[in-house]
Amino acid sequence: MRTPLRAGRRIAAVAAASAVALVLTACGGGSDPLSSGGEGSGDDPDAIVVGSANFPESETVAGIYAEVLRVNGFDVSTKLNIGSREAYIPALRDGSIDVIPDYTGNLLHYLDPEATASTSADVEAALPAALGPDLTTARPAAAEDKDAVVVTRETAERWNLTTIADLAPHSADVTFGAPAEFQERPVGLPGLKDKYGLDVSSDNFVPIADGGGPATVEALKSGQVLAANIFTTSPAIAANDFVVLADPENNFPAQNVVPVIRAAKSSDKLQAALDAVSAQLTTDELVALNDSVSGDAKTEPAQAAQQWVAAKGLDEPVG
């Protein structure tokens, strides 16, 4: 039987989800990046459409790819803020886009839900078979941005939390904020339940569609959710003194940034340009880019990308 407090929390969570959905719909303007412009890049090997997922880090890295490809002679256009893998992987396969930044571990588990690889080397080795004939990748970067279960300092101290397992005894009281697909993905709620016993009910799951961005951060700060899926390179973690719960069972696999390419558009020239980006993109660089875009400076992702490309000497053709 529900107590009034728990019922109140669940009502608040539903209200928060509705409010977030309305805000995100308003911000998005109802536009679909895959419908604007209509077609992809066609058969021209030097015409490349770079896409991004619907969160600032992806848009920034996509901007870096676009800038470097332009410098190296490609005719580049962009389709940004497409959405989750459920939207952009089909877009790669149907030719709506040609290149997009992704994360090795989550990409592998999306393509092969039965995959067990968790280390960077094992995930990279397993990817080619999972990608199939239509997709390929350039070299993964050292930069890694992992999913994490994040709580406020107050919650961590109140329940003495250091790992995700420590949260499991409080499952009935945990409202959890994350993208909608996190509820079904093997490394989302199903994985947390299987590996740690953290059993979040559907009533207590709050879908927030900004990939651990400002709406998710605000929901955690305000207490609308008690735990959230936020990427480890988010500057909001340090800025708000949030606590990242340890994942000793590796529910979240290695997540190195990797360019995913439509195989029909892959070439030595394209690979060399993207490999040059991966060679210089570290986790610290990714944190700094995120801080520039999402921190106090509020730099536009395209501008942050241009600045990074120039600072790394990638504004000259590779090789």
Q: What pLDDT, on the 0 to 100 scale, is given for residue 35?
A: 64
| pLDDT over 80 (residue 6) | no
Do 147-244 and 47-145+255-311 fall under one CATH topology?
Answer: yes
47-145+255-311: what CATH class? alpha beta
Question: For the segment 32-57, what is each residue's pLDDT rounded down to a tens digit?
Answer: 777 654 578 888 989 999 999 998 99
Q: Would strands 176-178 and 205-207 be described as parallel, antiparallel, or unpaired?
A: parallel
Check residues 175 and 4 and name the one with the higher pLDDT.
Answer: 175
HEC states along the chain?
Answer: CCCHHHHHHHHHHHHHHHHHHHHHHHHHCCCCCCCCCCCCCCCCCCEEEEECCCCHHHHHHHHHHHHHHHHCCCEEEEECCCCCHHHHHHHHHCCCCCEEEEEHHHHHHHHCCCCCCCCHHHHHHHHHHHHCCCEEECCCCCCECCCCEEECHHHHHHHCCCEHHHHHHHHHHCCEEECHHHHCCCCCHHHHHHHHCCCCCHHHEEECCCCCCHHHHHHHHHCCCCEEECCCCCHHHHHCCCEECECCCCCCCCCEEEEEEEHHHCCHHHHHHHHHHHHHCCHHHHHHHHHHHHCCCCCCHHHHHHHHHHHCCCCCCCC
In the chain, where the domains are located: 47-145+255-311, 147-244
| pLDDT over 80 (residue 103) | yes
User: pLDDT band at residue 179, thresholds of 50, 70 and 90?
Assistant: very high
Question: So what's the architecture of 147-244 in CATH?
Answer: 3-Layer(aba) Sandwich (3.40)
Segment 175-196 shows an average pLDDT of 95
